[in-house]
Amino acid sequence: MFENLQDRLGSILNGLTGRGALSEADVSAALREVRRALLEADVALEVVRSFTDRVREKAVGAGVLKSIKPGQMVVKIVHDELVEMLGSEGVTIDLHAPAPVVIMMVGLQGSGKTTTTGKIAKRLTERDRKKVLMASLDTRRPAAQEQLRQIGEQTKIDTLPIIPGQSPTDIAARAVQAAKLGGHDVVILDTAGRTHIDEPLMVEMADIRKKANPHEILLVADSLTGQDAVNLARNFDERIGVTGLVLTRMDGDGRGGAALSMRAVTGKPIKLIGVGERMNELEEFHPRRIADRILGMGDIVSLVEKAAENIDAEKAAAMAKKMQSGKFDLNDLADQLRQMQKMGGMGGIMGLMPGMAGMKDKMSAAGMDDKVFGRQLAIISSMTRAERSNPDMLKHSRKKRIAAGSGSNAAEINKLLKMHRQMADMMKAMGGKKGGGMMKQMMG
């Protein structure tokens, strides 16, 4: 079962500990399990393939840090890649167009277009203070237009009056016209679907599109769609052109593999998800949550975060060791500056340690201050590798080049070098003390 993905990966890769890097054979073994987890989550086969290929590329040769298990390392790579492929958060409906902004809802019958039309209209009305008009273009099912009218009544959002006998394109034109006259900011066109994709449906959608010139075309799809998700998304995108995806029934037991399939095939963002039948059950899309669900591991987030923490801790421990040995070069200083920025600057670090307040003043007197971290990093990155590992070679002409490259001056560079010397001396002195030294406590 997929809940045991972590265990399975762990046991497959346990033999690797200490070897330092993931080999192709080991990654392949792990990816067989990942592949099974993705298929269980209903991710379409062709997407599973391209996904595992991408992960393989990243994972082979990736370092296995001693403090985490190789299995965790692979899971982290898989999870990161999944989040990346699912896309960024906070992409929502784009209203940057002259009013009335036309939103066209497309999708198969029963996917949730009409319900989602109501949900989006309610959201835009309440959260964005927009005046919205909804229009049903579904002339195929007798009750469809009435269904939307009722949603309008319930949510107190305007719907286009029903005139029997009009074609979908005529209704679309009338809706845009009515929105102009009525001073609506947004008009949402709820179209008809079919139980499957066919030519008449695509022709109808293309005609409506031509007539209404929508700014957003949202493909509404049931998140429980399995292998068909790829076909569905590809067809609608190629024939009509979609600007975003909405996945419905995310409140169900499905693992949401369709999200990955549809996103991978169209490259279009998942803008919203439906999580229930009620009008307020519409949410923004969070790629991390869906990635966890697809992998079928409830605790993956904490697991992965812990792994990342361990990576930092391990780096820090290595650095502490280096410092104590007196081999603290400018590469190490740069690493340390970055680490400190990440940990909330000097104040953040010192605040965690008793009796360290005085040290903070001392260090800022030496030029080690939060505000200058960024500038110092710029100076260091303008140096060559040789210069970083051997600061003594930095004479006048080199300093001049570095100053030009980093937009600083000789005085700043000298200050940085002085600070580095002081720190290196301090590290060395403290490293000798019992208890492992301040830096180890600080970083470990």
Specify binding-site residues for GTP.
107-114, 190-194, 248-251
Q: State the Rg of the chain over Cα.
A: 29
- How far apart are CB 273 and ligand GDP at their closest, in Å? 7
Q: How far is the CB of 283 from ligand GDP (least distance, A)?
A: 9
- Cβ atoms of 295 and 5 within 8 Å: the answer is yes
Q: Are 175 and 212 in contact (CB under 8 A)?
A: yes
Q: Determine the 3-state secondary structure of 283 from DSSP.
A: strand
Closer Cβ to ligand GDP, 109 or 341, answer by number: 109
Question: Is 111 a residue that touches Mg ion (CB under 5 A)?
Answer: no
The C-alpha torsion from 70 through 71 and 73 to 78, rounded to 10°, is 150
How far is residue 351's CA from residue 169's CA, in Å, rounded to a whole number? 66
Angle at 51 between CA 49 and CA 52, to 5 degrees: 70
Q: Among Mg ion, ligand GDP, none, what binds residue 109 when CB lies within 5 to 8 Å by partner kind?
A: ligand GDP
**With contacts defined by CB under 5 A, how many residues of the chain interact with Mg ion?**
2
Shortest CB 47 distance to ligand GDP, Å = 22
376 binds Mg ion (CB under 5 A): no
Q: How far is the CB of 108 from ligand GDP (least distance, A)?
A: 7
**Residue (190 or 387) nearer to Mg ion, CB:** 190
User: Measured from the CB of residue 195, what is the shortest distance to ligand GDP in angstroms?
Assistant: 10
Q: Tell me if 114 contacts Mg ion by CB under 5 A.
A: yes
The residues that touch ligand GDP, with contacts defined as CB under 6 A, are 107, 109-115, 193, 248-249, 251, 274-277
Distance CA 212, CA 173 (A): 6
* CB nearer ligand GDP, residue 28 or residue 150: 150
- Min dist. Cβ of residue 111 to ligand GDP (A): 4
Q: Which is nearer to ligand GDP, 241 or 276 (CB)?
A: 276
Is the CB of 114 or the CB of 125 nearer to Mg ion?
114
Q: Nearer Cβ to ligand GDP, position 115 or 145?
A: 115
CA distance 105 to 271: 13
Q: How many CA atoms lie within 13 A of 15 on its CB side?
A: 8
For 89-148, give the DSSP string. Answer: TT------SSSSEEEEEE--TTSSHHHHHHHHHHHHHHHS---EEEEE---SSTTHHHHH
**What residue 248 binds from Mg ion, ligand GDP, none (CB within 5 to 8 A, per partner kind)?**
ligand GDP
Binding positions for Mg ion, rule: CB under 5 A: 113-114
